[in-house]
Amino acid sequence: MLGAIIGDIIGSAFEFNNIKFKEFQPLFHPMAKFTDDTVCTVAIADALLHGLSPVATLQDWCQRYWDNGGWGQRFNLWLGEDNPQPYGSYGNGAAMRVSAAGLLATSLEDALELAYGVTVITHNHPEGIKAGQATAVAIWMARDGSSAGSIRDALMERFGYDLSMTVDAIRPGYKFTEASQDSVPQALVCALEAVDFEDAVRNAVSIGGDSDTIAAIAGAVGEARFGIPDEIAAKAWSYLPLDMRTVMTALYRAQA
């Protein structure tokens, strides 16, 4: 989960100022910050850890950090509703926030079920559900020791994503979109092609587009594949308030 948050923080500086190269310095830009992606990721982890309603928990956390902003227009309305209902979204927000499902799952089927439960509350479009489940499966498989090639093959077979592309092939023509079908496969390629955690995040930022969300997804899978270097983890931790740190500490204890 910290991998997703690191991706969000690093990618935040480039979401509306895309770059098309990997060698940006410093890794954490002076304008970097956690965004709504981190708030939602922590909220879903809190719900799964403590058996809470993901609807109520998302509303609670996002209202707590309302001034952070960044919410999509329809999600913004959903947050204020007394009885919020799914609204057919196929955006990449479900995949961005789902990493705790992959980390806490005890089996592949459990990963699918947990991801479905925290996705369908908003993103009940088939593409939205697919994106959340594919990300959780990739995380679970990486934790279970599967190779990048095995993960790629499994995701292509189960979800129909084209993961045969390379980062270098994606980068030149890639443009901003929040549609999951046009951003989640790209994020997964960035993670599966990477040689280490930092490379996964740099790959994601380098293709441009919805940089914080793409890097959050790639970072979550990258963490499951490689772990996170201590220096990068410590830097990201310093951005986060106590309530977020508390949830994350509990999650990693539960995973252990």
pLDDT tens, position by position, 58-112: 999 999 999 887 888 899 999 999 999 999 999 999 999 999 999 999 999 999 9
On whether the CB atoms of residues 214 and 247 are closer than 8 A, the answer is no
Cis peptide before 26 (omega within 30 of 0): yes
pLDDT tens, position by position, 145-188: 999 999 999 999 999 999 999 999 999 999 999 999 999 999 99
The span from the CA of 226 to the CA of 198, in Å, is 9
pLDDT tens, position by position, 101-130: 999 999 999 999 999 999 999 999 999 999
What is the domain partition of the chain in residue ranges? 2-255
The span from the CA of 192 to the CA of 207, in Å, is 14
Write down how long the chain is: 256
Which pLDDT belongs to residue 101?
Answer: 98
Which pLDDT belongs to residue 256?
Answer: 62
The span from the CA of 87 to the CA of 139, in Å, is 26
On whether the CB atoms of residues 34 and 239 are closer than 8 A, the answer is yes
| Average pLDDT of the chain to the nearest whole number | 96
- CATH classification (class only), 2-255: mainly alpha
Scanning the structure block, which residue is given the tokens 């090639």?
149
DSSP labels for 180-222? GGGTHHHHHHHHHH-SSHHHHHHHHHHT-SSHHHHHHHHHHHH
pTM check: above 0.85: yes
